[in-house]
A and B are shown apart, each in its own frame.
Chain A
């Protein structure tokens, strides 16, 4: 998607008025929606179908840190829009600036998420649950506040959902880096900006997924 080339198009029956790469990205995103539906659906079933009481998110997670991270990601969507707007106006300087900012914001998000994981694993939260003898175990499980079963489900769902989202952001950052390199080489001048638009669609999608995940995993 990062390497959109536009050779001479064959005359064709009118499609749906969307160029092929953009159409392909929309179709791909439909598939991604279903993938995250499987993960989010599982979370809903496990959480509200669980016999045990679900952990209170702020007992385990660092909400302010992730709220900051969410803010960074939303800002990156804004910078993405600015980059696209610059591309449509053939503003090369603006395009490069906003793309670089978007890449940086995406990388920051992934970095903060990795720090968060490191901290959580250190505290004792693992995909398999809360580690025996860890700080979290002492605070929540041993005091009877939380059952080990519910902690296990929480760990499973938390790491799988946020992990796959983080993986998607990482892929986005890598693709965005290629787009940025191409922008610095002048690849999007003169009204050719399909690559910027297509990666932008993906970026907004990943951002949107995070807003849902942040709400249901961290806030409620």
Chain B
């Protein structure tokens, strides 16, 4: 029934590959190559965003002292290595922008949706491979424009990643004009890239599943990526529309968000958070999917409550569109409206808890293998619970009034985005690295990376809760200028030192990644003894993935089936004889 799996690579067969070099590695339409391109791109931006965080932490821990090595920065940013307030604002803005739009989002959807969806559903490629290639290559100008802001007059965008109007739409407040315009263009192009990706993921999952791969046999990672794609499809255009109007306010003289021209700054907040809250789930749902796969594998047990997991993902996504107002409790909204946003936000705790308990139920009495992906998945689980619980504080309007725009919020977002999404991304990278590159990563280095990251991550972000409750504002340039914050400066120093060590703890990962890429031992077909379809093809899989379209007989979580010789049962293995007996 389905026409056109791979529109232009007619006659796509696994193992038959005569594409020229440029089409194979650069302008490739192969979903696996695109996924790997996204991996390098997002890890580069992750590093950039991390370096920005280091400079921010230096300024907060040791305000007014020169950043080590900061003398290479131009005087407009840091004269003599001392960070200017304007540069600090730009750093805070671009740290958020890079991490959210150019590091974590492409890391979770760009890498894993591209790499895993066709392999896991038994398809030769994406539904629209050429659009998929565009989705990656649009990220290059988007990222370049965002970076270019640092090199234009007035510096980069400095109104926060949330770009609240009127701070963002007039150079009066931040002194930034060209940088903000570049930021707008970058995010608009990013939106186009995201749109192409989403259309592809949705069409692929709906129409290109292999025979027998029914909806309820999809791995939870595919479910999560599919629902994430729907969220991105519906939320990102709202951001695009909002940013286009912000851009017009700057270049065409319109008055959408300009109060002096009758416009409404609050309108920006509504539009932004109508995108921004689903965006939060765009950043966490794929992580939940990856972790579901890894935890079932590491526990050697079927995932607990598969169906409820699927509905929980859907429930989180649906509720995600009804809660944006909880970001705006202090904007002067009608208290009745605030209360309804509070109630809808608290409702999200229900599907989220279902997922958490299901993961625990999966591990309960499992034959747990603490391999590196599993360690990271458990790291995700524990940190996400802390991040989720601190989220309930903010959902409660009266509490939020007090902690709004403090470091409590910074702690929360990092517990879910770093402790949640990034640990899951690391789990995913460790788990699928052998499939992607055909080589295994070093186990010992992986354990060191996880252990050190886990410790220093907590030492960095947990004290931020305390800072926040003490009234430490987010995006604050110099905490020592307020006497009431002075007693907490030692905490700031502690956090900064922990952050530097957290950065250093990524070194084992970088070494491991590149060493394994070239020198790692050859990976077998199925190193984790996993049931999903990608483990039935060679590592790395050939162009076109499957020599013959696989047939699927069961769900992906049949671990430790009683009566089986092995503790796993691949999805494409025909039913065992003992089941055919009756």
Contact = CB atoms under 8 A, between A and B. Distances in A.
Contact of B238 (A20, A34, A156): A34
Interface residues on B, range: 35 or more
B256 A42 contact: yes
Contact of A194 (B3, B10, B262, B270): B3
A127 B195 contact: no
B207 interface: yes
A23 B206 contact: yes
A59 B234 CA distance: 36
Contacts of B253: 126-129
B238 A9 contact: no
B211 interface: yes
Contacts of A66: none
A147 B128 CA distance: 51
A212 to B, nearest CB: 15
A195 B576 CA distance: 45
A32 interface: yes
A31 interface: yes
Contacts of A17: 1
Contacts of A6: 3-4
Contacts of B267: 42, 45-46
Interface stretch (B197-205, B397-405, B472-480): B197-205
| Among B1, B200, B271, B549, residue most surrounded by chain A Cβ atoms (within 10 Å) | B1
Contact of B11 (A8, A32, A127, A194): A8
B237 A34 contact: yes
Interface in B225-252: 233-238, 240-242, 244-245, 248, 252
Contact of A8 (B10, B256, B261): B10
Contacts of A150: 262
A5 B4 contact: yes
A128 B244 CA distance: 15
A16 B207 contact: yes
B214 interface: yes
Contacts, number: 184
A124 to B, nearest CB: 14
Given A27-B199, A127-B252, A15 B1 contact: yes
| Among A23, A28, A31, A153, residue most surrounded by chain B Cβ atoms (within 10 Å) | A31
B213 to A, nearest CB: 5
A85 B425 CA distance: 49
A127 B254 contact: yes
A20 B5 contact: yes
Interface in A1-29: 3-21, 23-24, 27-28
B199 A46 contact: no
Given A7-B7, A20-B4, A156-B263, A38 B241 contact: yes
B104 interface: no
B283 interface: no
B130 to A, nearest CB: 9
Nearest to B6: A7
A10 B271 CA distance: 42
Contacts of A129: 253, 255, 261
| Among B3, B7, B212, B242, residue most surrounded by chain A Cβ atoms (within 10 Å) | B3
Interface string B116-144: 00000001100110000000000000000
Contacts of B214: 13
A32 B235 CA distance: 11
B4 A9 contact: yes
A35 B236 CA distance: 8
Contacts of B236: 31
Interface in B517-550: 549
Interface residues on A, range: 35 or more
A155 interface: yes
A129 B212 CA distance: 60
Contacts of B248: 127, 156, 160
A177 interface: no
Contact of B211 (A13, A153, A157): A13
A149 B213 CA distance: 58
A37 interface: yes
Interface string B386-400: 000000000000000
B212 A153 contact: no
B8 interface: yes
Interface string A20-62: 1101100110111011111101100110011110000000000
A15 B241 contact: no
A94 interface: no
B208 interface: yes
A87 to B, nearest CB: 16
A88 to B, nearest CB: 16
B264 interface: yes
A187 interface: no
A160 B199 CA distance: 25
B9 to A, nearest CB: 8
Given A5-B8, A15-B2, A20 B199 contact: no
Contacts of A126: 253
A168 to B, nearest CB: 13
A156 B3 CA distance: 44
Contacts of B264: 45-46, 49
B210 interface: yes
Contacts of B10: 5, 7-8
A153 B199 contact: no
Nearest to A41: B271
7 contacts: A9-B4, A11-B210, A23-B202, A27-B202, A30-B234, A39-B241, A46-B264
Given A10-B5, A12-B210, 18 more contacts: A9-B5, A10-B208, A12-B123, A13-B212, A15-B209, A19-B207, A20-B4, A24-B203, A28-B199, A31-B195, A34-B234, A128-B253, A128-B255, A129-B255, A129-B261, A149-B255, A149-B262, A159-B254
Minimum-distance CB pairs A-B, first 3: A38-B241, A128-B253, A156-B254
